[in-house]
């Protein structure tokens, strides 16, 4: 929206002006990254796969023992209300729940009033031309958090692991970076899931590779299956990407974007492949239908 001063933010139980949307400096979401979030797309004024995102949010909260102060039904309605209040036609929702304010220290028993924050705005993660020409990425030396240390299935406010890998990518002149897991297998990129195509088969790392189970990833798998494409979730190493025929990334903000180069190695022909283009087109159609 052009007038940010008129933007409305949902904070706890009501819509407030953007400059009134504040939380305590003692909130453990700020002090320790203690909280969870979701990034949700809006297409044609409709919240895309809202229920999937709300389900994942509450599962994450359960996993970290965070009690969200409103019900899933109330949260769903709050998201819809925020989108409508900001007249967003095509955009993005950032839904955040913090642990709440407390004393200095890690003890969650000394916190109270978890904060529910919903922001509806526009977003452009990558330049539009990269969706046509494909993007280059590098492999980060920063590996994905060990799943026994922090479950990748929890979309937590502590994104430092991903940020450090992202820094490596931007330092190398790329907008994304591939992250490996503790076993040296392909996990995901800093903000996106990854797919490759080899001999007509669509492949993506499985859940136990240490990935976030992306909503867009789920949709793309569904669309590919409907199109008769053989889809396999299996462990991969960098060699599989270097020698792939096609590669692309998926994410709520990124949608479906082709990758044509990893670590200076051309993938396939060095241009977006036919299956990638087909799935991207079908995804764009689907989000308008859903």
The residues that are catalytic are 155
Distance CA 228, CA 200 (A): 11
Nearest to 22, CA basis, from 6, 8, 38, 11: 11
Write down the residue that tokens 């409103």 correspond to.
70
Pairing relationship of beta strands 8-11 and 135-139 according to DSSP bridges: unpaired
* Phi, psi values for residue 177, rounded to 5°: -140, 140
| Tokens found for residue 39 | 């990034």
Max CA-CA distance within the chain?
57
Sign of the dihedral defined by the CA atoms of residues 272, 278, 279, 285, in that order:
positive
CB 283 within 8 A of CB 223: yes
| Tokens found for residue 99 | 């642990």
Q: How many CB atoms within 10 Å of residue 283? A: 18
CB 122 within 8 A of CB 92: yes
Pairing relationship of beta strands 35-43 and 135-139 according to DSSP bridges: unpaired
* Phi, psi values for residue 233, rounded to 5°: -100, 110
| Number of helices (H), then strands (E), in the chain | 8, 17
CB 144 within 8 A of CB 160: no
Write down the residue that tokens 């136990």 correspond to.
208
Distance CA 250, CA 288 (A): 17
């Amino acid at each position: 929206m052009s007038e940010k001063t008129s933007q409305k933010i949902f904070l706890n139980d009501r819509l407030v002006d953007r400059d009134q949307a504040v939380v305590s400096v003692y909130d453990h979401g700020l002090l320790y990254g203690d909280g969870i979030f979701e990034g949700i797309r809006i297409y044609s004024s409709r919240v895309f796969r809202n229920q999937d995102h709300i389900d994942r949010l509450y599962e994450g909260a359960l996993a970290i023992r965070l009690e969200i102060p409103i019900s899933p039904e109330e949260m769903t309605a709050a998201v819809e209300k925020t989108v409508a209040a900001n007249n967003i036609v095509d955009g993005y929702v950032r839904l955040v729940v913090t642990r709440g304010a407390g004393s200095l220290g890690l003890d969650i028993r000394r916190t109270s009033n978890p904060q529910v924050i919903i922001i509806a705005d526009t977003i452009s993660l990558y330049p539009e031309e990269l969706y046509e020409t494909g993007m280059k990425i590098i492999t980060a030396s920063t590996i994905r958090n060990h799943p026994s240390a922090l479950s990748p299935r929890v979309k937590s406010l502590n994104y430092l692991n991903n940020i450090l890998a992202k820094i490596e990518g931007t330092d190398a002149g790329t907008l994304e970076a591939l992250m490996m897991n503790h076993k040296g297998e392909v996990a995901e990129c800093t903000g996106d899931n990854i797919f490759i195509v080899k001999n007509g088969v669509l492949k993506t790392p499985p859940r136990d590779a240490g990935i976030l189970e992306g909503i867009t990833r789920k949709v793309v798998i569904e669309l590919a299956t409907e199109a008769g494409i053989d889809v396999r979730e299996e462990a991969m190493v960098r060699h599989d990407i270097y020698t792939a025929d096609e590669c692309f990334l998926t994410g709520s903000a990124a949608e479906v974007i082709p990758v044509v180069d990893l670590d200076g190695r051309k993938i396939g022909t060095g241009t977006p492949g036919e299956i990638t283009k087909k799935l991207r087109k079908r995804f764009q159609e689907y989000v308008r239908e859903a």
